[in-house]
Amino acid sequence: MTVKAYGAQAADRPLESLDIARRQPGAHDVQIDIAYCGVCHSDLHQVRSEWAGTLYPCVPGHEIVGRVSAVGAHVSGFKEGDLVGVGCIVDSCQHCSECEAGLENYCDNMVGTYNGPTQDPPGHTLGGYSQQIVVHERYVLRIRHPEADLAAVAPLLCAGITTYSPLRHWKVGPGHKVGVVGIGGLGHMGIKLAHAMGAHVVAFTTSESKRTDALALGADEVVVSRNPDEMAAHAKSLDFILNTVAAPHDLDAFFTLLKRDGTMTLVGAPATPHPSPEVFNLIMKRRSLAGSLIGGIPETQEMLDFCAEHGVVADIEMIRADQINDAYERMLKGDVKYRFVIDSASLAA
Ligand code: NAP
Ligand code: ZN
Supply the DSSP symbol for 159.
H
- CB of 162 shorter than 6 A to ligand 1: yes
Task: Identify the nearest ligand to the CA of 50 by its number.
Answer: 1
Task: Output phi, psi for 21, to 5 deg.
Answer: -100, 140
Please report the domains of the chain, with CATH numbers, ordered by start residue. Answer: 2-158+314-348 (3.90.180.10), 160-291 (3.40.50.720)
Which tens digits make up the pLDDT trace of 3-58? 999 999 999 999 999 999 999 999 999 999 999 999 999 999 999 999 989 999 99
C-alpha 57 to ligand 1 mean position (Å): 25
Measure 62 CA to ligand 2 centroid, in angstroms. 6
Q: Which is the closest atom of ligand 1 to the Cα of 249? A: 19
Residue nearest to atom 15 of ligand 1 (CA): 247
Q: Which atom from ligand 1 is nearest to the alpha carbon of 336?
A: 2
| The pLDDT of residue 109 is above 80 | yes
Instruction: Return the amino acid letter for 269.
Output: A
Average pLDDT of 328-348? 96
CA of 39 to the centre of ligand 2 (A): 8
Q: Work out the burial of residue 104: count CB atoms within 10 Å of its CB; fewer than 13 is exposed, 13-18 middle, 19 or more buried.
A: buried
Atom of ligand 1 nearest to the CA of 332: 3
According to the model, what pLDDT value does residue 47 have?
Answer: 98
pTM (2 decimals)? 0.97
Closest approach atom of ligand 1 to CA 45 = 34
Question: What would the 3-class secondary structure string for 39-100 be?
Answer: CCHHHHHHHCCCCCCCCCCECCCCCEEEEEEEECCCCCCCCCCCEEEECCEEECCCCCHHHH
Kindly report the number of other CB atoms within 10 A of residue 119's CB atom: 6
For residue 156 and ligand 1, the question of a CB distance below 6 A is answered with no
Is the pLDDT at 98 greater than 80? The verdict is yes
> Is the confidence at residue 349, as pLDDT, over 80?
no
Answer whether 266 contacts ligand 1 (Cβ < 6 A). Answer: no
Cα separations (Å) of 143 from 38, 115, 152, 189, 202?
Answer: 15, 25, 12, 17, 30
